[in-house]
């Protein structure tokens, strides 16, 4: 039986995108019964000052966290302002973080292979390979390919080194693998899709009606939603214009939901309010949006992951206007819960929702998105289905075959 070490940087205390993807990969890989898996999770431990600078939350100081029977061994490092200056301002490799890696890499000794995720995990795996000659595999999820290497040149060099020494690099979409060619073509590469958690299923009509009532929705309400980080890469400031165009085209009861938080929240709230009021005035000069019961916008902030299947079962159309993506699991989760999805034509979005339901970025982006959204709301477009290859079971089988070979 193979003995595997999985290593990545994330937080088990705020389980979102990358953490959930790795968690499900480990869970399904372990379920094959052909390997034992130990998981190492790199996490920063910030003091009060750096928490204020980085806007990071207080987290429990523990050595291990167990979730669904999987134990995550936490590798704590102290965030260094000097390392941040070296990397961000001087384009030099971090000093204290490298020392931290050197002191912890011994933990990977003795494994048959290291399975790393994203940049930080890949650096650990490369160091283990150089010291102990352990083969390693890296899964790249999105920004670790299309954003971070181009923001800091030294990260580009290190990413290239990690890719070229890996036994194989897995990419969560075809688009992401193609984008990686800008970093290097001298590496072994394969596409290995993520899947969807079993928690995301379409509720029965009775359960769906009950959860919609719980969130204050009337039977006639249609919900258009964005779910994710309120950050620039998600192109969230395009949402007000998209929502306003939908209001102009659709006369029935509409609810706009924003689920998530981030640096752009305050700016987005203001822009949504101004844009929707202006367009409601254009349609019906005698009354403002605030006086209409059939148009409303709601900001939920961050919600527990356990609430997300219920949220998804309330949504009629999910909108994802991102500037870059790897393979957005939020699209797959929405489709599995019976929602329709419309998105920008970037990254792996089209691989999840289909080429007919994406819109190119550009001057007519908002109107193009609104046209497709309203087509779903009016029932003119048939429902979408999730591609069969986006499956954790299939991913575990393929990953195991690569590891065994």
Q: Is 357 within the bounds of a domain?
A: yes
Listed residue (97, 137, 113) closest to 1, CA to CA: 113
- Residues of the chain with pLDDT > 70, as a percent, come to 94
Confidence of residue 293 (pLDDT cuts 50, 70, 90): low
39, 8: one domain: yes
**Which tokens hold the place of 220?**
């006639």
Look at residue 97 and tell me if it is in a domain. yes
Cα gap 327→142, rounded to integer Å: 7
Same domain for 186 and 226, yes or no, is: no
Q: Answer yes or no: is pLDDT of 278 > 70.
A: no
pLDDT of residue 247: 93
Q: Nearest CA to 76 among 94, 97, 55? A: 97
Q: What are phi and psi of 33, to 5 degrees?
A: 75, 10
Regarding whether 212 and 131 lie in a shared domain, the answer is no
Query: Within a domain: residue 200?
Result: no
Task: Give the full edge-to-edge strand order of the sheet including 2-9.
Answer: 64-67, 70-78, 35-45, 2-9, 113-117, 136-140, 168-171, 189-191
**Domain with 149 in it: what CATH number?**
3.40.50.2000
- Contact in structure between 104 and 75 (CB atoms under 8 Å): yes
Residue 111's domain spans which residues? 2-195+391-404
SS3 breakdown of the chain: % helix, strand, coil, rounded to 5?
45, 20, 35
- The better pLDDT of the pair 355, 93 is held by 355
pLDDT confidence of residue 101:
95
User: Does residue 379 carry a pLDDT above 60?
Assistant: yes
Element of type H or E holding 99: helix 96-104
In a domain, 263, yes or no: yes
> Are 331 and 396 part of one and the same domain?
no
pLDDT in tens, 209-236: 999 999 999 999 999 999 999 999 999 9
**Window from 48-52, 196-200, 336-340 with minimum mean pLDDT:** 48-52
pTM passes above 0.85: yes
Question: Which runs of consecutive H residues, i.e. helices, occur in 105-152?
Answer: 118-132, 143-146, 148-151
Does one domain contain both 15 and 43? yes
Q: Are residues 178 and 235 in the same domain?
A: no
Total of domains in the chain:
2
**Close Cβ partners of 154 (under 8 Å, ≥ 6 residues apart):** 87, 91, 92, 93
Does residue 183 carry a pLDDT above 50?
Answer: yes
Can you give the pLDDT at residue 285? 42
Task: Check whether 290 has a pLDDT greater than 50.
Answer: no
Whether residue 345 lies inside any domain: the answer is yes
| pLDDT over 60 at 286, yes or no | no
pLDDT digits (tens, 9 = 90+) for 134-143: 999 999 999 9
pLDDT band of 54, cuts 50, 70, 90: low
Give the pLDDT of residue 359. Answer: 97
160 or 90: which leads in pLDDT: 160
| Residue 281 scores a pLDDT above 60 | no
């Amino acid at each position: 039986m193979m003995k595997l070490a999985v290593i990545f940087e994330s937080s088990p205390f705020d389980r979102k995108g990358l953490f959930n993807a790795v968690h499900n990969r480990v869970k399904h890989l372990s379920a094959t019964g052909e390997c034992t898996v130990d998981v190492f999770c790199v996490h920063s431990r910030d003091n009060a000052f750096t928490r204020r600078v980085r806007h990071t939350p207080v987290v429990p100081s523990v050595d291990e966290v167990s979730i669904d029977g999987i134990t995550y061994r936490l590798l704590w490092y102290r965030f260094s302002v000097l390392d941040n200056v070296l990397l961000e301002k001087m384009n030099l490799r971090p000093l204290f973080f490298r020392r931290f890696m050197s002191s912890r890499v011994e933990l990977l000794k003795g494994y048959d292979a290291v399975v790393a995720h994203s940049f930080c995990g890949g650096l650990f795996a490369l160091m283990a390979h150089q010291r102990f000659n352990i083969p390693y595999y890296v899964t790249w999820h999105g920004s670790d390919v299309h954003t971070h290497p181009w923001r800091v040149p030294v990260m580009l060099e290190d990413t290239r080194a990690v890719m070229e020494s890996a036994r194989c690099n897995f990419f969560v979409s075809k688009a992401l693998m193609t984008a990686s060619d800008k970093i290097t073509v001298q590496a072994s590469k394969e596409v290995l899709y993520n899947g969807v958690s079993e928690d995301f299923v379409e509720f029965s009509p009775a359960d769906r009606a009950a959860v919609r009532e719980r969130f204050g929705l009337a039977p006639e309400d249609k919900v258009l939603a964005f779910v994710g980080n309120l950050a620039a890469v998600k192109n969230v400031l395009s949402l007000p214009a998209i929502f306003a165009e939908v209001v102009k085209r659709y006369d029935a009861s509409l609810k706009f939901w924003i689920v998530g938080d981030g640096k752009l929240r305050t700016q987005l709230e203001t822009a949504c309010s101004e844009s929707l009021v202006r367009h409601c005035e254009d349609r019906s000069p005698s009354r403002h949006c605030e006086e209409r019961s059939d148009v409303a916008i709601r900001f939920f902030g961050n919600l527990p992951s356990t609430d997300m299947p219920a949220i998804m079962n309330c949504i009629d159309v999910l909108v994802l206007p991102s500037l870059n993506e790897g393979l957005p699991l939020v699209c797959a989760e929405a489709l599995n819960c019976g929602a329709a999805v419309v998105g920008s034509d970037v990254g792996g979005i089209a691989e999840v929702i289909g080429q007919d339901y994406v819109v190119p970025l550009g001057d007519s982006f908002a109107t193009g998105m609104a046209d497709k959204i309203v087509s779903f709301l009016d029932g003119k477009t048939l429902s979408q289905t999730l591609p069969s290859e986006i499956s954790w079971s299939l991913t575990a089988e393929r990953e195991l075959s690569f590891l065994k070979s």
